[in-house]
């Protein structure tokens, strides 16, 4: 059994928080460059130029790409052959998040109680953790900071199985179009199909981690992704919701077996500041 | 794209009536920040007939909760937040305080548009997700109210050449 010091995880996570906030991943940058050529409206093109300029300022001056540095959402694959010398992985992630958001001057956006006093925890913790146990002796941590503007435009529906493919397309396209300019389009569309209610939501979020523009490995789902993307971009919502033909950069679908009575579909959008960072310890 | 205009805030009603959805604006001057929690507090003060900590007459509110300023800078990343969440409060500020303009992202509801038309206010879209770029246009930032709200406090900002688009004008026209 390999043992990893608790503090190594904390320091790794701390650094990841800064990196994820300021550095637009290469796949997203590539998609934005492509989008700037595809976009036909003059105003839309101007927005794309601003996104690219924003990304270079953020990288060169260590400034967060967006002031909403998000909820810290972690996907962790924990090898069965590795353990921490003390504490839990969740404690290490929270401590790393607290330090990272403080040391890199990121915004603290978490309120302690959702309904009553809504007081800021001032540390940007607690984080959200999706933990998976996998073979091996490594810890793989993916951080996907998630802003409120795009998260608020999420949607979930338990379709009737008879609604089928068309029902899925309609629900996803409507959700993206209704979101208008709120999620800072061009967006990445994450879709989860199948499983249970909460699993569909998890899959939609996980779909956002796939490198932008990479189709599903299942050709039927890849075709569905292309169809949804085409319909969304024909809607005219455009960059910032102010008109254009690039409303979304990519559509990613993840799927899972489901109950014979169900067809859960969840939509989770990521803004053009589609941030993520990954490390293996 | 329509006209590009240079403007200096605060704006007069005549300035605002002269703006049309689609105009590109390069804004300099003084504006205030405010988002969810600050709006809620301003409206509770109005409910209690108490004086507001800032006089909004003829002023503009930018819906933003900036990142903390790193050493040597006046402000951190500072792009707009979703304006729809302020729809519950904006009509009151326009009617009762004569708020002249708002800056944010995303569409507004009918009540906001009606108040804008009646009292002469404008709604600008700033570029969502371009917080690092926008911060470059902010030359001074000072907390003027609700310090305890952290990123949601009200700041007075001096901006220089902030690029905006008139998304909804005071004549009821909208780009959304
Ligand atoms: S939707 Fe994304 S880019 Fe837009 S303000 Fe929120 S976090 Fe930033």
* Mean pLDDT, rounded, for A100-123: 95
DSSP state of A119: -
Say if the Cβ atoms of A107 and B128 lie within 8 Å.
no
* Mean pLDDT, rounded, for B147-173: 95
Residue B101 resides in a domain: yes
**Shortest CB distance from A53 goes to which of B133, B149, B175?**
B133
**Shortest CB distance from A107 goes to which of B84, B151, B167?**
B151
Q: Which residues line ligand 1 (CB under 6 A)?
A: A 66, 68, 147, 149-150, 183-184, 271, 273; B 79, 128-129
B104 touches chain A (CB under 8 A): no
Catalytic residue status for B20: no
Q: What pTM was computed for the model?
A: 0.94
Q: Is B87 exposed, middle or buried (0-12, 13-18, 19+ CB in 10 A)?
A: middle
Task: Give the other-Cβ count within 10 Å of A230's Cβ.
Answer: 12
Query: Domain range spanning residue B39?
Result: 4-168
Give percent of chain B with pLDDT exceeding 70: 99
B103 touches chain A (CB under 8 A): no
Q: Are A124 and A21 in contact (CB under 8 A)?
A: no
Half-sphere exposure of B29 (CA within 13 A, CB side): 16
Residue B176 resides in a domain: no
CA–CA min distance B94, chain A (Å): 22
pLDDT at A208: 97
CA distances from residue B153 to A220, B38, B128 in whole angstroms, order as listed: 49, 6, 20
Per-residue pLDDT tens over the stretch A253-274: 999 999 999 999 999 999 999 9
A103 alpha carbon – ligand 1 mean position (Å): 21
Q: Provide φ and ψ at A83, rounded to 5°.
A: -140, 165
A182 alpha carbon – ligand 1 mean position (Å): 8
Task: Give the other-Cβ count within 10 Å of A80's Cβ.
Answer: 11
Mean pLDDT of all residues belonging to chain A: 96
Residue B174 resides in a domain: no
Instruction: State the Cα–Cα distance between residues A182 and B87, nearest whole angstrom.
Output: 13
pLDDT at B166 over 80: yes
Say if the Cβ atoms of A57 and B106 lie within 8 Å.
no
Instruction: State the Cα–Cα distance between residues A269 and A181, nearest whole angstrom.
Output: 12
User: Interface of chain A against chain B, CB under 8 Å?
Assistant: 42-43, 46-47, 50-51, 53-54, 57-58, 61-69, 105-109, 118, 120, 122, 148-149, 152, 180-182, 184, 240-243, 271-273
Say if the Cβ atoms of A105 and B67 lie within 8 Å.
yes
Closest to A204 measured CA to CA, from A144, A247, A126: A144
**What's the distance, CA A203 to chain centroid?**
11
Instruction: State the Cα–Cα distance between residues B62 and A20, nearest whole angstrom.
Output: 26
Q: From chain B, pick out residues whose CB is under 8 angstroms from the CB of A120.
A: 149-152
Q: Whose CA is nearest to atom 2 of ligand 1?
A: A271
pLDDT at B54 over 90: yes
Per-residue pLDDT tens over the stretch A15-63: 999 999 999 999 999 999 999 999 999 999 999 999 999 999 999 999 9
Q: Whose CA is nearest to atom 3 of ligand 1?
A: B129
Nearest CA in chain B to A274: B129
B4 pLDDT band, cuts 50/70/90, is confident
Per-residue pLDDT tens over the stretch A174-232: 999 999 999 999 999 999 999 999 999 999 999 999 999 999 999 999 999 999 999 99
- The CATH number of the structural domain formed by A2-19+66-145 is 3.30.360
Number of folded domains in chain B?
1
Q: Which residues pair with A192 in a beta bridge?
A: A254, A266
Given B19, B27, B38, B39, the catalytic residue: B39
Q: Which residues contact A114 (CB under 8 A, 6 or more apart)?
A: none
Instruction: State the Cα–Cα distance between residues A35 and A48, nearest whole angstrom.
Output: 7
Per-residue pLDDT tens over the stretch B75-118: 999 999 999 999 999 999 999 999 999 999 999 999 999 999 99
| 3-state secondary structure at position A157 | strand
Per-residue pLDDT tens over the stretch A88-97: 999 999 999 9
CATH number, position B17:
3.20.130.10
B2 pLDDT band, cuts 50/70/90, is low
- Show the tokens assigned to B52: 């507001």
Q: b/e map of B7-39 (b: 16 or more CB within 10 Å)?
A: bebbbeeebbeebebbbbbbbbeebbbbbbbbb
Residue B175 resides in a domain: no
Give percent of chain A with pLDDT exceeding 70: 100
pLDDT at A22: 97
Give percent of chain B with pLDDT exceeding 90: 97
A169-178, B26-35, B145-154: least confident range: B145-154
pLDDT at B1 over 70: no
- State how beta strands A248-258 and A187-195 pair: parallel
Say if the Cβ atoms of B37 and A106 lie within 8 Å.
no
A59 alpha carbon – ligand 1 mean position (Å): 17
Mean pLDDT of all residues belonging to chain B: 95
The ligand 1 atom at the shortest distance from the C-alpha of residue B131 is: 8
CA–CA min distance B56, chain A (Å): 24
Q: Are A47 and B113 in contact (CB under 8 A)?
A: no
Instruction: State the Cα–Cα distance between residues A272 and A258, nearest whole angstrom.
Output: 31
pLDDT at A117 over 90: no
């Amino acid at each position: 059994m390999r043992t990893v010091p608790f503090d190594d995880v904390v320091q790794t996570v701390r650094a990841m928080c800064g990196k994820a906030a300021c550095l637009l991943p290469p796949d997203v940058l590539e998609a934005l460059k492509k989008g700037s050529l595809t976009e036909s409206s003059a105003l839309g093109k101007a927005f794309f130029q601003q996104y690219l300029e924003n990304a270079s300022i953020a990288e060169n001056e260590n400034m967060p790409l967006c002031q909403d540095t998000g909820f810290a959402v972690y996907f962790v694959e924990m090898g069965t052959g590795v353990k921490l010398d003390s504490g839990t992985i969740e404690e290490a992630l929270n401590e790393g998040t607290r330090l990272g958001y403080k040391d890199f001057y990121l915004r603290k956006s978490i309120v302690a109680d959702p309904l009553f006093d809504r007081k800021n925890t001032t540390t940007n913790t607690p984080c959200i953790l999706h933990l998976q146990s996998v073979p091996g002796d490594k810890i793989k941590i993916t951080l996907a900071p998630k802003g409120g503007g795009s998260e608020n435009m999420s949607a979930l529906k338990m379709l009737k199985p008879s609604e089928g493919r068309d029902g899925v397309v309609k629900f996803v396209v409507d959700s993206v179009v209704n979101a208008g300019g709120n999620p800072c389009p061009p967006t990445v569309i994450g879709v989860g199909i199948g499983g249970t209610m909460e699993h569909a939501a998890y899959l939609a979020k996980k779909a956002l981690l796939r490198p932008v523009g990479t189709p599903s490995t299942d050709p039927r789902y890849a075709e569905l992704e292309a169809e949804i993307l085409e319909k969304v971009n024909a809607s005219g919502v455009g960059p910032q919701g102010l008109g254009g033909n690039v409303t979304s950069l990519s559509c990613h679908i993840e799927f899972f077996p489901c109950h014979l009575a169900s067809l859960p579909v969840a939509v989770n959008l990521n803004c053009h500041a589609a941030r993520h960072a990954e490390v293996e310890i | 794209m329509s006209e590009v205009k240079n403007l200096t805030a605060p704006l007069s009603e005549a300035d605002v009536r002269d703006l049309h959805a689609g105009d590109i604006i390069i804004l300099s001057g003084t504006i205030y920040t405010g988002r969810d929690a600050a709006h809620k507090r301003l409206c509770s003060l109005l409910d209690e007939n108490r004086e507001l900590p800032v006089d909004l007459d003829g002023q503009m509110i930018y819906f933003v909760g900036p990142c903390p300023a790193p050493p040597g800078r006046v402000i951190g990343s500072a792009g707009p937040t979703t304006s729809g969440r302020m729809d519950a409060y904006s009509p009151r500020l326009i009617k009762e305080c004569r708020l002249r303009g708002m800056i944010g992202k995303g569409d507004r509801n009918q009540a906001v548009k009606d108040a804008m038309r009646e009292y002469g206010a404008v709604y600008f879209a700033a570029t969502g997700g371009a917080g690092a770029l926008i911060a470059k246009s902010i030359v001074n930032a000072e907390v003027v109210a609700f310090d305890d709200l952290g990123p949601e406090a009200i700041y007075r900002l001096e901006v220089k050449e902030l690029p905006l688009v008139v998304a909804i004008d005071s004549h009821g026209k909208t780009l959304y």
